[in-house]
């Protein structure tokens, strides 16, 4: 069996697949078969149908691109999905909507929730924000720990689990904060929020999704994210609430052969990505130099004040009883998965 996930970046949420499944189903991954496990992430879309092999879905979400037809999904083995929106769009019964598969860390003693001392606030940005924006200095000035989503997964989970509050633009930052019983506040840069996947997760836990808007941090970010003047505003501003009715229509894909032009475009982007990422990391290193930090300080202080104000806003956290029920359902799904493939507990 092989695991399919978004491995283009080292974003911790996607890369949980690289260490979580080998601990949970090592016997199955060691076997050569025609089975492909569609793992943690917002992976379900029409193009998944083009993957070679028998599709197995566990704790996965949707939200990017048109969806497959329910008739196509009938041939897939779906144990559970992230939330009710994903289930509905795949034509699945409501009981298949459990929670994001990242909560499977509850099956691993080294990552399982435990009572521990909690201190301070963490800020977990979206991985693109980590590359393009400049939130490190405002976090330092606000006394908030900046947690890059590109850090080792264990380090990210430990930072979240040890916090009193999490300000999160990373969806899996929110998912893991809720698992670790850390109140969390969703924030979003307008260009980088995908409300569908957030609402899907929130609905699975009976929560509302209304993020606080994050403004542009500096002129370097603005150069790549064209924005109106009000994007410089540093006041607390909520974005419109996402509700189920916003996603009543299901976009479906028309299946056409993949053109050679499209394949070339994908390959070109893949080849260019390491250079682009390296360039932005070099820019972020320059942002940390004394001259640019001094030049940025007035804006940084305004953003630090914003972060401190956001930390005073109402936070989200699912109920303990609902969390326990979801974990029981997830464990049952995992046991069924293992049993179906001949793995004894």
Per-residue pLDDT tens over the stretch 88-107 = 888 899 999 999 999 999 99
Q: What's the pLDDT score for residue 256?
A: 46
**Angstrom distance (rounded) from CA 239 to CA 143:** 25
- Residue 220's alpha-carbon distances to 198, 277, 289, in angstroms, are 28, 15, 15
- Long-range Cβ contacts of 281-287 (<8 Å, 24+ apart): 281/131, 283/220, 284/131, 284/134, 284/136, 287/134, 287/136, 287/137, 287/218, 287/220
Q: Percent of the chain having pLDDT more than 70? A: 89
For residue 239, the 8-state DSSP code is P
Is residue 224 helix, strand or coil?
helix
User: Using alpha carbons only, how large is the chain's radius of gyration in Å?
Assistant: 20
Q: Could you give the CA distance from residue 205 to residue 171 in angstroms, rounded to a whole number?
A: 14
Which of 141-155, 202-216, 233-247, 261-275 is predicted least confidently?
Answer: 261-275
This prediction has a pTM of 0.90
Residue 248, both tokens = 């009543």
Residue 258 binned pLDDT confidence (cut-offs 50, 70, 90): very low
User: What is the C-alpha separation between 192 and 114, in angstroms, rounded?
Assistant: 33
**DSSP letter string, 147-198:** --TTS-HHHHHHHHHT-SEEEESSHHHHHHHHHTT--EEEEE-GGG--HHHH
Reading the block at residue 186, the tokens are 């969703």
């Amino acid at each position: 069996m092989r695991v399919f996930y978004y491995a283009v970046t080292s974003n911790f949420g996607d890369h949980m697949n690289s260490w979580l499944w080998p601990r949970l189903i090592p016997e199955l991954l060691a076997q050569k078969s025609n089975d492909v496990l569609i793992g943690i992430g917002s992976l379900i879309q029409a193009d998944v149908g083009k993957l070679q092999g028998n599709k197995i879905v566990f704790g996965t979400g949707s939200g990017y691109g048109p969806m497959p037809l329910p008739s196509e999904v009938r041939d897939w083995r779906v144990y559970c999905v992230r939330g009710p929106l994903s289930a509905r769009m795949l034509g699945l019964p409501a009981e298949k909507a459990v929670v994001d598969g990242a909560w499977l860390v509850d099956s691993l003693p080294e990552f399982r929730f435990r009572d521990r001392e909690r201190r301070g606030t963490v800020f977990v940005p979206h991985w693109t924000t980590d590359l393009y924006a400049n939130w490190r200095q405002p976090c330092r000035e606000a006394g908030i720990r900046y947690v890059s989503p590109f850090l080792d997964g264990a380090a990210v989970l430990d930072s979240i689990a040890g916090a009193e509050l999490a300000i999160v633009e990373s969806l899996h930052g929110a998912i893991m904060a809720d698992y670790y019983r850390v109140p969390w506040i969703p924030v979003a840069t307008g260009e980088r929020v995908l409300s569908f996947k957030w609402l899907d997760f929130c609905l699975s836990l009976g929560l509302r999704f209304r993020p606080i808007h994050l403004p542009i941090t500096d002129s370097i970010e603005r150069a790549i994210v064209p924005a109106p003047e009000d994007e410089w505003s540093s006041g607390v501003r909520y974005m419109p609430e996402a509700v189920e009715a916003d996603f009543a229509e299901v976009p479906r894909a028309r299946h056409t052969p993949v053109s050679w032009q499209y394949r070339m475009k994908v390959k070109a982007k893949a080849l260019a990505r390491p250079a682009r990422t390296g360039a932005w990391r070099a820019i972020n290193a320059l942002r940390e130099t004394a001259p640019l930090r001094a030049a940025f300080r007035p804006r940084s202080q305004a953003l630090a004040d914003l972060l401190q104000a956001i930390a005073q806003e109402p936070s989200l956290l699912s109920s303990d009883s609902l969390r326990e029920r979801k974990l029981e359902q997830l464990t049952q799904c995992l046991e069924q998965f293992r049993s179906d493939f001949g793995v004894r507990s």
